[in-house]
Amino acid sequence: MLFKAVNRKLVGAVKRYCSLINTLLVTYGCDSRKIEKLPAVSRDLTLCSMLPFAISIADSKEDSIRETEHAEEEIQIFMDRSALNGKVGAAVVLLRTGNLPHILHIHLGPKSKHTVHEVELAGMLLGMHLISTEKQGNTTFTLGVDNQAAIRAFNSIMRRPGHHLAQEIVQIANMLSKQKNKNAYKLTVWWTAGHKGLEGNKLADKEVKRAVEGLTTDKPLLPSYLHKPLLINLAAIKRAHNDMLMLKWAKTWRETDRGQRYIHLEELTPSKKLLKLSNQPKLS
């Protein structure tokens, strides 16, 4: 709703008065045209019970591992995402008995622009794309996801940062459910608790490291939604700004007389450990 107003503030320099929007733009130093837009209208919650796939979230990690090990679906898809050295990426592996693994990679970029939750949904989108390109698609599929928050996003109003990817996943899933044979095709999104000890997990864990380092599958093999770089995630901007403020505060505090005295007691001051110790109510 504020997109048009913010864009007007981007045109030209401030001549006389600096508004709150101008202050925000200067503080965060971002071009609003490169930031994702959250929908002004909420998703109809009645659609949550009409998802084009089943969702299975076990009560415990043990139950999740047991269900995954005994899964009877013909095609299993394993997805893993990671954040390393300030960068995020995801990899997806499709396994089918008697066939070579089908693997896709996506490198989103720095953590200052994208979140782990967002890359989790991007990985799920890759998984849906693998299903759509499977030639013998009238069969049963499982898509393993080790993040419950990403799975529960489909039962929400989808207005949070990164949820535009969840909306795209639902659209592809709806298209597949209409194209496939209803008596043969079935898709289940599982919470797989890290897919511990499974072949697909080991392969996905190996491949995701390559994605984090910068590997992205050729565009023609990716879903069209990921052909262009994703817009900057709002949550990532706020987190990066808060991290910058914390570093600035820590540097300033260490230069004070009190900060210099505390360094002799705790080298990592100011730290959570020191704050916890110094905030004891029993201290005189």
* Residue range 6-64, pLDDT digits in tens: 666 555 556 676 777 777 777 777 777 788 888 877 777 777 778 999 998 888 888 88
Calpha distance 120→149 (Å, rounded)? 10
Count of other CB atoms within 10 angstroms of residue 180: 18
Phi first, then psi, for residue 197 (nearest 5°) are 75, 5
Quick: pLDDT tens for 93-127.
999 888 889 999 999 999 999 999 999 999 999 99
Instruction: Tell me how far CA of residue 180 lies from CA of 11, 59, 78, 154, 177, in angstroms.
Output: 49, 31, 22, 21, 6
Q: Is residue 115 within 8 Å of residue 236, measured between CB atoms?
A: yes
Instruction: Tell me how far CA of residue 251 lies from CA of 21, 141, 254, 276, 278, in angstroms.
Output: 29, 52, 5, 20, 19
Residues forming a β-bridge with 81? 90
Return the residue matching tokens 């993040």: 147
Tell me the two tokens of residue 182.
Answer: 């209803």
For the segment 182-195, the average pLDDT, to the nearest whole number, is: 83
pTM: 0.85
CATH value of 45-232 in 3.40.190.10, 1.10.730.10, 3.30.420.10, 3.40.50.2030 = 3.30.420.10
Q: Is residue 204 within 8 Å of residue 80, measured between CB atoms?
A: yes
Residue of higher predicted confidence among 147 and 26: 147
Calpha distance 122→120 (Å, rounded)? 5
Residues forming a β-bridge with 109? 88
- Provide the pLDDT for residue 231: 93
- Provide the pLDDT for residue 128: 95
**Domain ranges across the chain:** 3-34, 45-232, 237-278
Please tell me the least confidently modeled range out of 120-129, 141-150, 212-221: 141-150
